Structure 1
Amino acid sequence: MRVLCVAEKPSIAKSITQILSGGQFTSRTTANKYIRNYDFDYPQTRAQFTVTSVSGHLTAHDFPDTHRKWHSCDPISLFDAPVETFVSKDGKDIEKNLKSEARRADMLMIWTDCDREGEHIGSEVKRVCRSAKANIIVKRARFSAIIAQQIHNAAQHPVELDQAQADAVEARIVLDLRIGAAFTRMQTKTLQDAIAQVEGSVVSYGPCQFPTLGFVVQRYLQVKNFVSEPFWYIFLSLSRPSSSQGDNVETEFKWRRVHLFDHDAAAVIYEHVISNPITRVTKVVEKDTKKWKPLPLTTVELQKAGSRLLKLAPKAVLDIAEKLYNQGFLSYPRTETDQFDPQFDFMPLIEKQAVDPAWGAFAQGLQQGEFSSPRRGKNNDKAHPPIHPTAHAGGLQGNEKKVYEFITRRFLACCSKDAEGSMTTVDVTCGGEAFYATGLVVHRRNYLDVYPYDKWTGSRVPDFAEGEEFQPSVCELREGHTSSPKYLTEADLVTLMDKNGIGTDATIAQHIETVINREYVLEEYEGGTKYLLPSTLGIGLIEGYNEMGLEKSVSKPQLRREVRYVR
C-alpha cells in the first residue's frame, strides 16, 4: 500500500519523517521551495510512505465579481451573496504537488494540527486529493506531541477526519467575510460622506477587531469618568528590636476592617481605640508556605510575559518565537496546552542547557536530583506541547536572546521545585479592634534561582508571644483616597481577549496590531510602561454603535464568543 501523509507545515513533515523512517528516507523537491516530499518504507504497516505538507490553509474565500467591487451592490446584500472558495495564489504549487502524489497513493493520511483549524485544513487537503483520485481512502492521524511513541501510534491507528469541526471553521470564515465586508463598506461610505478627515481612508470593521477596540474604549471611559473617594483607616505600628539583628524594626499591624468611607464612624472607633491603647497579642501562627513554580508556557502566557516583562509587543514576541522555532531552537510556539504529556522526556532537553554559562549550573542540578515534574494546568489543545527549548542557542543577540532566555528559564523553572518558606501571622486587639501583621522568611528559593521574573520577598516580624501586651509606637487615624484604574497595557488586553474568547492564542496579537495600525488605538508611555488609549475615531466608532441600542452590542465580546463556539 502507498500512503500519502500531509502535514500542516514543512517542519512537522520533516519531524514525522525522521521518526517514522528512523532516519532512512529519500527526499524530493517540489515547485514550492519550502516543501519537500519524503519517501520511505514503513514496515510496521507494510506500506510505502510519502510525507509532504501544506503551509497552512490552502483555500481563500471571496465574493464573485458581481459583489466584489465596493459600489457594485448595497452592503446589506453581502449577507446573501454567493461566496466563492478557491485555492489561493500561493497555494497553486502546493495543490499541484498534492494532486500528483495523490494519483499514485492508495490512502491519504492527514497529519495537520489536532485542533479546529487543523481539521479544516485537513478537509481542504482531502478535497484537493479526491479531485485527483476520487476513490482514495482518507484517514486522520491524531497526536498531541512530536514524540516517537505518539507518532508511531498515530501512523498505525489512524481515525476519521472530524468533518463537523471542519464545517464549523468554514462557517466562521464565511461569516467573518460577510460581516467584515458589509460593515466595512457601510461605515466607510457613511463616514467618508460625513467627515472630511476620513476621506480616502478605509474604516475597517472586523468581528474580532471591534471587541478588541471595545475593551480599550471601555477602560478609557472608566479612567476618564473615575471620581476618587476619601476613606479613613487606623494605622497601628510597633517599633522593637529584631531578634536576629538587634536593630529596631517597625511592624505595621493592618486593620481587619481595612478602611471605612464614613469619617464620623471611623473617628468614633479611633477614639475608642486611642482611649484603650494597650495592645494584646491574641494569636501567633507560623506555618510553612510555598510559592508555586510557573505552569508550562502557552502562547497566550508568552504574549503577556513578552509585553509585561520583556517590553515587547505581543506580535513581535510571536514573530521572534516563530523564527527561533524555524531555526530549531524552540518547539512550536502556538499552543494552548499548559501540561506536558506524561511520556514527555525532559532530561535530554535539560542536558542541552547544562552548557550555558548563565543557567547551566541550575540545569546540572536538575539532572542530579533537583528535578520535579512540572505542574499540570487545565488546558490541552491536543495539538502541541507547551512551548520549550529544543536546543541550546548560545549566539543569539538582542530581542531574540531575550525571548529565548525567557522561554528557557521558564522551562527549567517548571522542572524545578516550588520555593519554600514560612509565614508568621500575629493577631492583636487594641481598643476592641482587630489588627494583624505578617512576616515571610524564604528558606529554599529553588525555581526562583533560575526564574528572576518572579519575586518572593518579605521581612521577618519580631518575636511575639500569645497573651503579651504592649503600647503601640504609632496609633493614628489616617486618610486615603481610592485610586483610579489604569489604562490597559498590552498584557491586560491579551488577558481580556483570551478570557472572553476574542481571537485564538495565535491570532490575538494580530488583532491588537490591527487596531493599532488602523489608528483606532494609540500607544502612550508612562514611567516606562506602554498603555493603550483609543483615538478619537476609535471612541467615536464604539460609542456610535453603542448608541444604536442593538440587541447585542458589536463592541462587546458576547456576540463574537457565541460565533467562535458554533458547532
Structure 2
Amino acid sequence: MVLMGFLRIKSIFDVVYRTYSTKMTRFLNVAEKNDAAKNIAAILSRGNSNRREGLSPYNKIYEFEGNVFGQQAHMVMTSVSGHLLNYAFTSTYKNWQGCNPVVLFEAPVVKICLPDYEKIKKTLEREIRSCQGLIIWTDCDREGENIGFEVIKVCSDIKPNLRIYRAKFSEITGPSVFRALSNLCQPDKNVSDAVDVRQELDLRTGAAFTRLQTLRLQKVFPQKLSDKLISYGSCQFPTLGFVVDRYQQIEKFIPEPFWKIKMNHRVKDLTTEFTWKRDRLFDKNSVEAILDICKENPQAKVESVESKQKSKWRPVPLDTVEMEKAASRKLRMNAKEAMKIAEKLYTKGFISYPRTETNIFPKELNLTNLVEMQREDQRWGLFATRIMNEGGPSPRQGKKTDQAHPPIHPIKYTNTLTGNEQKLYEFVVRHFLACVHKDAQGFETAVNVDIADEKFTAKGLIILEKNYLDVYIYEKWNGKEINNYAEGDTFMPTLLDMVESTTGPPKLLTEADLIALMEKHGIGTDATHAEHIDTIKQREYVGLHENVYFVPGTLGMGLVEGYNNIGLEVSLAKPNLRADFENDLKLICEGRKNAEVVRADQIRKYKAVFQTVAEKMRLIDDSLASRLDDRPQTVPEQDLTGRDEHAPVLKCPKCGSDMVLRSKKTGGGKFMACTGYPACKNVVWFPACVENARVTDEACQQCGPGVKKVKFNFKPNPFPGDPNPNTICIAGCDFIVCQTLDINISNVRRENQQNNTRLNNTTTTARAPTSNLNSWLNNSTAGGSGRANGNNSNATVTSNSYQPQSNGWASTSRQSSETTTNRPPPATRVVQNADPSDIVCNCNLQAVLLTVRKDGPNQGRQFYKCPNGACSFFLWFGDDGGGDGPSSANEDSTPKCNCHLPAQQKTVQKEGPNKGRQFYGCSKPMGQGCNFFKWCDEVSFFFKKSPLNSKIQKTGYTVKRKNIFPKIKKKYALEVLYIFCDTPLVTHLCSVST
C-alpha cells in the first residue's frame, strides 16, 4: 500500500513537473549512444537530471533544465544506437533470383528504419511532439553528421517547423560540453551528403557483385562453394588485394646468393664489429679476389673517428591510424577490438574522441592540466611530476589536421579499469606524456678504417638521457659499446673472412602493415580500416599465420587473380577506383563537388566495370579452378546471374518509379508492374500470345533514352509478316502495338506527356456510313486506340490516348478534370481546294497565308500559320497529300507513310469487332518504321471555320449533359461528333441540341 501510494504521488509530481516545464522552450537533445547521452546530461544538469524509460530499453531519457541562448529551457536528452536509417532496395529487388544483378545499379533505393531500431524511432517521434527545438549531439565526424540528419528527418516528419541546431565537441568533459552548448551551429549537409553517396554506392556495388559472384560460383563449384556467401565490397577487395600481392611476391621470389667480407677487432672482452662499405656482392669470385688482396696486407688503419650528438625522437600526438597500428604491434590487440574499446573509453569520459586524423595539439588545449591530473598514478605519476618540474609540456607536433578533433589524449584520470580497457587507456596516457616531454639523447661514435683500399665502419652509441623512454615502455634504444680508437691508429683484425648468405622474400603483412597500406592508398577512412580487415577475415578470404601475419585463402587468392586476369583498366583488386571515390567524398564534404554528380559518375564507372566482369567471369572460374583444385561445372548462362526481369522498361506515369517485367506466379505469362508497389499498383497485363519477354538495352528513339524496347516471343504471332521474336516499344508511341497487346496508354504514358503516336500525327478516324449509324453506335467502335471501359474492342477511342487535332473546341468541351495537350497539325499536312478563309489555327483564328522567301527547295511555296504566332500551327497550301497528312476524300492512290514510302495494306487478325478490317501501315519492319496508321475505309477531311464550329462546341457540352448517344460513354461523345463533323449528321445534331 505504501509503495502504491508512493507511485501515485510520483506520477502526480511528474505530471506537474512536465506541465510546468512546458511553459519554457523544450529542446530534444539526441546523442549517438546511450552512454554519451547519460554523461552529457550529467554534465549539463550538474548531476541533477531525472531519468525515465524510453520505448527502447537500451536508450534512456534524461530531463533537466538548462540555458540555451541565454534563456532557461527544458532539456530532454536521449540517444540513438548508431545509424537509425539504412539504404535498402525496394521489395522488388530483394529476391536474388528475381533480377539480373546489373539492374541494381539503377534500381530504386529507399532509406528505411530496420525493425531493431523502430522503438528508438518511435521514442523520437513521441518526444519531439512536445518540443520546439532539436539539438544534435552525435559524434562530430562524417558518420555522426549523417546520423544527425537521420534524426532530423524523423523529427521533421512529425514537426516540420523545428528549430534545429548542432553541438560540436571533441570530448565529453564539462568545459567541452558547455562550450558546445554555448556555440550551437547548423548541421553540415555536405558532410551528410557524402555519407549518403558512400552508403548508396556501397549498397549498389556490394549487392551487384556479391550476387554475381555468389549465384555463379555456387553453381560452377558446387562441391566447394555451394554454401558460401562470396561477398564483394569496394574497400574489401583492394584490402584483400594488398594481402594477395604480398603473398604473390613471396611465391614468386627466387632466392639469390650473395657474399660479403666480415671483419671484427677484439680487445680483451670487447669485440667491435665492422661492416664492409660495399655491403655485399652477388659475384663470389670478385669477393674472393678482394679478400685475397686484403689478406696480403691485413693491417687496418683508422682513417677517421667521428663523434656527434644523437637523438631519438619522441612520438607525435596520437591519431586513429597510429593508435590502431600500435594496438596491433605493441598491445597484441586487433584494430577492431582497439577501436571498440577506445569508443567505450570516450563515452565514459576517459579519453578524447578516438576517430581523428589530427596529430597537432591545438594552442587552446590546456596540456598542463592534462599532465597534472596524471601525477597521482603510481606507475607514471613521477614522470608527470618530472615534466612539470622541467618546464611543463612541450609537445612534438605532427603535420596533419582534420580541422575537427584534436589528437587522442586522456581527459580524466582513472585506476579502475581492467583487461584490455586498462591496457589501451595506459597506452594513450603513456603516449601523451611521452609526446609532451623531451627526445632521448645519446652520443654516437663512428670509426672508419681502411684495409688494402677496402673501407670498413664501426658505430658505437652511448645513451646520455633516456627522457621520454622512461615512460614510453613500448620502444627501446640500446647503447652499443666499441673499443676506443684514434685517427691514425693501426691494428690487426681478429677476424677477416668471407661469409655467404642469400636474399630473403618480403615478410607477410601484419595488421599494422595492412592499415598503413590502406591509409597510403586511400582505402576507407581511419574509422573504417578495422571493419574492412575484419570482413575479409570473416569471409575466409584471408587467415592469420601465427596469429600475426595475413595469408590469403584459396578463395581469396582465386578471386583476386581472376579479377586481375580480366584485364580491366583498373582492377577491382587494386586501390585506384576506390581511392578516387574516397577523394570525391572529401571534395563533397568541402563543398567543392556536387553529391549528385559524384553519385551518378561513380555508379556509371562501377556499372561499366561490372558489365565487363560479367562478360568475362569464365576467367575467374579458371583462376578458382586452379586454386580450389576443382573442375568447374557447365551451367546454362541464364541460370548463373538471375533473371533479367527487373531491368527497368520505363518510368511509371502514376508515381515515377521504374516499371519492370514480371512473371505470373501461376499459369506462366508475363506482365509489367511498378516497383513502387504496394504504394502504387499500376500494372500492364500482356495477352496469352506473349510467350516470353525480355528487356533490351536498346532505347526507343521516339520515346527517349528512359524507355527501353522489349523483345517478345509470341505464340501465335499477332503481327503477321513481322519477325518473331520481335523487339518493340510498348510505351505508347506505336498504336498498333498498344492495340494488339491491349495496353492502356494511361498505364504507360502520362496524358500530358509529349507523344509521337500515330493518333497524334494523323487523323485516324473511322468513317461509318450514316445509314448504319445506330448499329455503329451500339457497337461503340471508332478508329483509333486500345481498350475502353473494359471493352476489348481493338478500335475504341479512349480519352487518354486520343487528342483531336482541332484544338479550337477540344479543350473547351472537356471538363476541367481532364488534362488535354494541344498539338499542332504536322508540318507535312496539306490543304487542297480550300478557301483561305476556311483555314483556322489552333487558337481558332483565321490562319494567314504566307510565302516562303528563304533560299532553298521550298522558296516560293505558300503555307498557313497562326496570325498572332501564339500557337505552332503550320499547313502547306496547294500540294499533294502525303507525309502525316490524310489523303483526300477522292484520292484513289495508295497513301504514303511518314517515311514518304507507299504504305502497306494489312488486315486485323486479332479477335474483336475489327477482325478482317484493313488498314494501312508503314512498310518497314516493326520497330524501324514511322508508326503510320490509317484505316482503308477512312475518309479524310480538314476542319473548316464556320458557324458549325461553335455549334460543335455547344453540341459537345449538350451531349455530355443530355447524353444524346446513350450507347456511348459520355466522355466519348465529343469524339463521335469529331468523327462525323464533315457530314450533314452534325448539322442535324446541332439543330436538335439547340
Q: Measure how far apart 1:558 and its partner are.
A: 1.3
Q: Distance in 1 between matches of 2:359 and 2:261?
A: 44
- Structure-1 residue corresponding to 2:287: 266
The Cα of 1:119 is off from its aligned counterpart by: 2.3
Aligned to 2:117: 91
Q: Which moved more, 1:161-170 or 1:310-319?
A: 310-319
Deviations along 1:440-470, one digit per CA (max 9) or x if unpaired, are: 1111112222222101002122222223333
Match of 2:489 among 468, 483, 500: 468
Contact kept in structure 1, 2:170 and 2:405, CA below 8 Å: yes
Counterparts of 1:140-151 in structure 2, within 5 Å, are 140-146=166-172, 150-151=176-177
1:39 aligned residue = 64
Cα deviation, residue 433, structure 1 = 2.9
User: Which residue of structure 1 lines up, in the alignment, with residue 922 of structure 2?
Assistant: none
What is aligned with 1:134?
A: 160
> For residues 332-411 of structure 1, what are the structure 2 equivalents within 5 Å?
332-369=353-390, 371-411=392-432
After TM superposition, the structure 1 stretch with the greater mean CA deviation from structure 2, 441-450 or 73-82, is: 441-450
What is the SS of the residue equivalent to 2:96?
A: coil
CA shift, 1:483, in A, is 1.4
Report the CA distance shift for 1:397/1:134 in structure 2 as closer, same or farther (over 3 A): closer
Which aligned pairs between 1:42-441 and structure 2 lie closer than 5 A?
A: 42=67, 45-48=70-73, 50=75, 51-146=77-172, 150-195=176-221, 196-240=223-267, 247-369=268-390, 371-441=392-462
8 Å Cα contact 1:176/1:207 also seen in 2: yes
**Which one-letter code corresponds to 1:73 in the other structure?**
C
Structure 2: distance between partners of 1:326 and 1:139: 21
Distance across 1 between alignment mates of 2:148 and 2:419: 38
Change (3 A) 1:363 1:321: same
Distance 2:498 2:361 in 1: 52
Query: Contact 2:328 / 2:512 at 8 angstroms: preserved in 1?
Result: yes
Higher mean C-alpha displacement, 553-562 vs 52-61: 52-61
SS, match of residue 201 in structure 1: coil
Residue type at the aligned position of 2:545: E
- CA displacement at 1:150 relative to structure 2: 4.9
Pair 1:38–1:432, CA change in 2 (3 A) = farther
> Partners of 2:249 and 2:461 in 1: how far apart?
36
For 1:16-36, what per-residue CA distance to the aligned partner results, in whole angstroms no more than 9, with x for missing partners?
445555556555542233332
Contact 1:21 1:42 in 2 (8 A): no
Specify the code of the residue in structure 1 equivalent to 2:32.
E
Aligned equivalents of 2:458 and 2:214: distance in 1? 59
TM-score (norm 2): 0.53
Superposition deviation, residue 387 in structure 1: 3.3
Larger Cα Rg: Structure 1 or Structure 2? 2
Q: CA deviation at 1:486?
A: 1.5
How far off its partner does 1:323 sit? 4.1
- Closer/same/farther in 2, CA of residues 88 and 27 from structure 1, 3 Å limit: same
Q: Distance in 1 between matches of 2:555 and 2:428?
A: 38
Within the alignment, does 1:548 sit opposite 2:569 as a pair? no
1:68 and 1:203 map into 2 onto residues whose CA distance is 17
Q: Distance in 2 between matches of 1:383 and 1:21?
A: 26
Relative distance call for 1:492 and 1:208 in structure 2 (3 A) is same
SS of match in other structure, 2:499: strand
Specify whether residues 15 and 335 from structure 1 end up closer, same or farther in structure 2 by C-alpha distance, changes over 3 A only: farther
- In the alignment, residue 7 of structure 1 is paired with which amino acid? A
**What do residues 196-249 of structure 1 show as CA deviations (whole Å, max 9, x unaligned)?**
211122111111111121111111111111111122222222223xxxxxx432
State the match for 1:243 in structure 2: none
Instruction: Name the CA distance, whole Å, in 2 between partners of 1:259 and 1:435.
Output: 12
Q: Equivalents in 2 of 1:199, 1:521: separation in Å?
A: 19
Per-residue deviation, residues 485-525 of structure 1 (Å, max 9, x unmatched): 12122222222222222222232222222212211112221
**Per the alignment, in what secondary structure is the counterpart of residue 532 of structure 1?**
strand
- Is the Cα–Cα contact under 8 Å of residues 520 and 537 in structure 1 kept in the other structure? yes
* Structure with bigger RCO (C-alpha 8 Å, 6+ apart): 1
In structure 2, the CA distance between the partners of 1:102 and 1:377, relative to structure 1 (3 Å rule), is farther
SS in 2 for 1:565: helix
Shift of residue 352, structure 1, vs aligned partner? 4.6
Distance in 2, Cα, partners of 1:442 & 1:119: 49
User: What CA distance in whole angstroms lies between the structure 2 residues aligned with 1:400 and 1:167?
Assistant: 34
Larger deviation: 349-358 or 211-220? 349-358
Partner Cα separation in structure 2 for residue 386 and residue 38 of structure 1: 32
Question: What are structure 2's unaligned runs of at least 5 residues?
Answer: 1-24, 589-994
In structure 2, do the counterparts of structure 1 residues 355 and 303 end up closer, same or farther at CA, with 3 Å as the change threshold?
same
Quick check: 1:440–1:458 contact (8 Å CA) kept in 2? yes
Corresponding residue pairs, total: 558
Q: CA distance change for structure 1 residues 305 and 141 in 2, over 3 Å: closer, same or farther?
A: same
Deviation at 1:279, TM superposition (A): 2.8
The alpha carbon displacement at 1:148 in A equals: 5.0
CA distance in 1, matches of 2:419, 2:404: 31
Q: Distance in 2 between matches of 1:521 and 1:264?
A: 44
Cα displacement (A) at 1:391:
4.4
Secondary structure of the corresponding residue to residue 281 of structure 2? coil
Identity %: 46
Flag as ranges the 4+ runs of structure 1 deviating above 6 A: none
Counterpart contact for 2:59–2:78, Cα < 8 Å:
no
Deviates more, 1:182-191 or 1:291-300: 291-300
SS of alignment partner, residue 289 of structure 1: strand
- SS of structure 1 residue aligned to 2:98: coil
Letter in 2 for 1:486: K
Structure 1 residue 347 displacement after superposition: 4.7
Structure 1 alignment gaps of length 5 or more: 241-246
Moved more, 132-141 or 147-156: 147-156
Question: What is the one-letter code of the residue matched to 1:540?
Answer: G
Question: 2:588 matched to 1:565?
Answer: no
Letter in 1 for 2:452: G
Structure 2: which amino acid aligns with 1:547? Answer: N
- SS of 1:231's equivalent? strand
Letter in 1 for 2:357: E
5 Å matches for 1:431-510? 431-510=452-531
Asked whether the equivalents of residues 284 and 464 of structure 1 are also in contact (C-alpha less than 8 Å), the reply is: yes
Q: Which amino acid aligns with 2:207?
A: A
Give the stretch that moved more between structures: 378-387 or 478-487.
378-387
Contact 2:52 2:60 (C-alpha < 8 Å) held by counterparts? no
Contact 2:35–2:348 (8 Å) recurs in 1:
no
Give the partner amino acid of 2:302. Answer: V
More deviation, 141-150/551-560: 141-150
Name whichever structure is richer in helix by fraction.
1
Give the deviation of 1:548 after TM superposition: 0.9
User: What do the CA deviations read for 1:396-430 (whole angstroms, capped 9, x no partner)?
Assistant: 44444433333333233233322111111222333
Distance 2:416 2:68 in 1: 41
**Which of 290-299 and 388-397 deviates more?**
388-397
2:725 maps to: none
Deviates more, 1:213-222 or 1:369-378: 369-378
> Is the contact between residue 145 and residue 385 of structure 1 (CA under 8 Å) also seen in structure 2?
no
From the superposition, tell whether residues 340 and 36 of structure 1 become closer, same or farther in structure 2 (CA, over 3 Å): farther
How many angstroms apart in 1 are the aligned matches of 2:202 and 2:342?
Answer: 28
Aligned equivalents of 1:485 and 1:30: distance in 2? 55
Contact 1:44 1:156 in 2 (8 A): yes
